[in-house]
Amino acid sequence: MNLSRLLAITIALSTINAHPHDNCNNEFFNRVLPSNASTLGTYHVPANGSFGQAADIAYPINATNLPALCAVIVNVTSSATSSYTFGLFLPEDWNQRFIAVGNGGFSGGINWLSMGSVVPYGFATLSTSTGHNSTGQDMTWALNNPESKADWGYRAMHGSVVLGKQLTSAYYSRKLCYSYYAGCSTGGKQGMKEVQKYPSDFDGVLIGAPAWWSTHQQLWQLTVGIINLPEGSPSYIPYSMFPLISNEVLRQCDASDGVLDTIIMDPKKCNFRPQALLCHPGQNTSTCLSPEQIKTWEALHRPIADINNTFVYPNFELGSDAQIPGSFGVYGTNAPSLYGTSYVQNYILDDASWDWKTYNYSVVEIADSLNPGSTNAADFDISPFYERGGKLLHYHGLADGLIPTGASELLYNNYLYNMSAKGINLDDFYRFFLVPGMQHCSGSVGNAPWYMGGVQTIRGVYGVPGFRDREHDALLALMAWVEKDVAPEHIIPTKWNNDTDPSQGVLRQRPICKFPAEATYVGHGNVNASSSWKCVAQV
């Protein structure tokens, strides 16, 4: 054996034998990174430790109860005028798999909390900053900044994933067995964009409530704000009235699925009449609606169409009213939500002085023709993802009060049309689940089961305690599909007695079914037990 070959074997052996822990330093990672990227810091986190960055204004909350891991932050130059960072958790007890998690709203920052919810499964876990530093409704960073729009639109996620995978295999000196993605809302859009544009990045993606049609979603947000305004007018419905409406929806719709249990299983089966809330003479007007307010509510619950009856965006489902007064402020206050206005000013028109009062349909046309940052995830030909063996699990809450559930149904149908035309059976690689009563990405109304592990973060908790199996945990369901070819027909979400502390026990479990099937009560047994429900085809 010649000397150089012996040397090569010795080096190879020493790499395999090296404790990965020893690689947890800037020098190691910088040797792996290309010249346009470098570390900003490397940290040892002990078992049960916490990690985060107070300067991360979008995600200031530390991940806690972490397994022992190496945390590294990397800065990547994406153009002459832009850069993004990403965070990577490399656990000592590694499952030989990689996962990337998504962001929320228009936030820029590393999503440490989401990373913390999946790293205990054993994944090398990544989150990208997306290339800017802001909270969710602040889009001022995008003004006249096409490079940062591209970073947010797709470039930062893909670039971070490529480098994150390289760092991971170098760190453990092993190849990755599988790569995954999990995200909701903007995180859902980021996952759909990856599936569409970079189909080889992931073997499996878990996507909730994707904000996939940015150009229409943001302008729909503007439109619903305008429909409800001006504040204080006879047609205006203040946030304080939505609990009243929501209770009435529940009163009229709860039994439409045959079971009185505070869960509306299928809002489309309910023939809701808001007129039941019409004020009687002399009635306290905080407890009823005027005819003008009823018309507003009806307009808010119709698909938005514009000039020449052109479809713009679907409407909220019955049941979503409960989340309207919540933190998203979807209808704005004395002006429409910044999700609409800031988007037009900074993202579409690059005109900070644009006045929402001049809004008209031409803005939608401009948005669609520019599609700045290539942000929309609207390429419905996902056959390359199918052909590489990818699997996609998609869910959306039926009581979502930020992104209408119908947006996901529309996306599902578009994929269906496109794949059918190619003779591909969508069911073989993509399954969609509606979650009755679930709100935007987490939480629920009427004590509906919603928690399925993955990135549905309960701080300091991972997976579904007591139910760490593929039937109850959507991420484990995805892994079983990718790795063992066990395709999920249903998943069983959980509602805890206390949603911040699963150790206080289960309140309810109930299956969600592969669209368009629906969970149906079998007619006997405790309605709160998953065994009392079965998936029934609707057509």
Ligand X SMILES: *[C@@H]1O[C@H](CO)[C@@H](O)[C@H](O)[C@H]1NC(C)=O
Nearer Cβ to ligand X (111/402): 111
Q: Is 368 helix (H, G, I), strand (E, B) or coil?
A: helix
Q: Which of residues 278-297 bind ligand X (CB under 6 A)?
A: 284, 286-287
At its nearest, how many Å lie between ligand X and the CB of residue 17? 30
At its nearest, how many Å lie between ligand X and the CB of residue 220? 16
In angstroms, the CA 412 to CA 392 distance is 11
| Contact assessment for residue 396 and residue 434, using Cβ atoms and an 8 Å cutoff | yes
At its nearest, how many Å lie between ligand X and the CB of residue 467? 18
Q: Does 457 bind ligand X (CB under 6 A)?
A: no
In angstroms, the CA 388 to CA 179 distance is 13
**Residues with Cβ within 8 Å of residue 153, at least 6 apart in sequence:** 193, 372, 373, 374, 375
Nearer Cβ to ligand X (50/371): 50
**Residues with Cβ within 8 Å of residue 254, at least 6 apart in sequence:** 260, 261, 262, 263, 264, 446
Nearer Cβ to ligand X (227/367): 367
Nearer Cβ to ligand X (370/527): 527
At its nearest, how many Å lie between ligand X and the CB of residue 78? 4
Contact code string over 33-72 relative to ligand X, x by CB under 6 A: -xxx---x-------x-xxx--xxx----x--x-------
With contacts defined by CB under 6 A, name the span among 137-145, 223-231, 484-492, 500-508 that binds ligand X.
500-508
Q: What is the DSSP string of 2-49?
A: -HHHHHHHHHHHHHHHS-GGGG-SHHHHHHHS-TTEEEEEEEEE-TTE
User: Catalytic: which of 320, 400, 408, 532?
Assistant: 400
In angstroms, the CA 26 to CA 159 distance is 19
Contact code string over 341-370 relative to ligand X, x by CB under 6 A: -----------------x-xxxx-------
Q: Does 76 bind ligand X (CB under 6 A)?
A: yes
Q: Which of residues 120-139 bind ligand X (CB under 6 A)?
A: 133
Nearer Cβ to ligand X (310/538): 310
Nearer Cβ to ligand X (107/517): 107
Q: Is 124 helix (H, G, I), strand (E, B) or coil?
A: strand
At its nearest, how many Å lie between ligand X and the CB of residue 284? 4
Residue 515 CA from chain centroid, whole number = 18
Query: Tokens 């991971």, residue?
Result: 168
Q: Is 171 helix (H, G, I), strand (E, B) or coil?
A: helix
Nearer Cβ to ligand X (380/521): 380
Query: Tokens 């169409």, residue?
Result: 305
Nearer Cβ to ligand X (448/482): 448
| Contact assessment for residue 388 and residue 196, using Cβ atoms and an 8 Å cutoff | no
Q: Does 247 bind ligand X (CB under 6 A)?
A: no
Q: Which of 370, 447, 471, 534 binds ligand X (CB under 6 A)?
A: 447
283 dihedral zone (left: phi>0; alpha: psi -120 to 50; beta): beta
Residue 501 to residues 316, 410, 461: CA-CA distances in angstroms? 30, 35, 8
Contact code string over 148-187 relative to ligand X, x by CB under 6 A: -----------x----------------------------
Amino acid at 446: G
With contacts defined by CB under 6 A, name the span among 22-30, 75-83, 385-393, 464-472 that binds ligand X.
75-83
User: Catalytic: which of 83, 179, 185, 532?
Assistant: 185
Q: Which of residues 192-211 bind ligand X (CB under 6 A)?
A: none
Q: Which of 236, 239, 380, 521 binds ligand X (CB under 6 A)?
A: 380
At its nearest, how many Å lie between ligand X and the CB of residue 417? 5
At its nearest, how many Å lie between ligand X and the CB of residue 50? 5
Q: What is the dihedral of CA 226, 227, 230, 235, to 10 degrees?
A: 180
* DSSP code for 88: E
Is 185 catalytic? The answer is yes
- Strand segments, DSSP code E, in 193-245 are 204-208
| Contact assessment for residue 328 and residue 403, using Cβ atoms and an 8 Å cutoff | no
Q: Is 251 helix (H, G, I), strand (E, B) or coil?
A: helix
| Contact assessment for residue 290 and residue 234, using Cβ atoms and an 8 Å cutoff | yes
**Residues with Cβ within 8 Å of residue 19, at least 6 apart in sequence:** none
At its nearest, how many Å lie between ligand X and the CB of residue 5? 30
User: Catalytic: which of 132, 216, 396, 440?
Assistant: 440
At its nearest, how many Å lie between ligand X and the CB of residue 85? 6
Question: Which tokens in the block code for residue 432?
Answer: 């969609």
Nearer Cβ to ligand X (368/483): 368
Q: Which of 200, 327, 333, 500 binds ligand X (CB under 6 A)?
A: 500
Question: Which tokens in the block code for residue 484?
Answer: 């063992």
* DSSP code for 315: P
Contact code string over 412-441 relative to ligand X, x by CB under 6 A: -----xx--x--------------------
| Contact assessment for residue 87 and residue 59, using Cβ atoms and an 8 Å cutoff | no
Q: Which residues in this chain contact ligand X in the complex, by CB under 6 A?
A: 34-36, 40, 48, 50-52, 55-57, 62, 65, 75-78, 83, 85, 133, 159, 284, 286-287, 307-308, 358, 360-363, 379-381, 417-418, 421, 447, 498, 500-501, 507-508, 526-528
Catalogue the active-site residues. 185, 400, 440
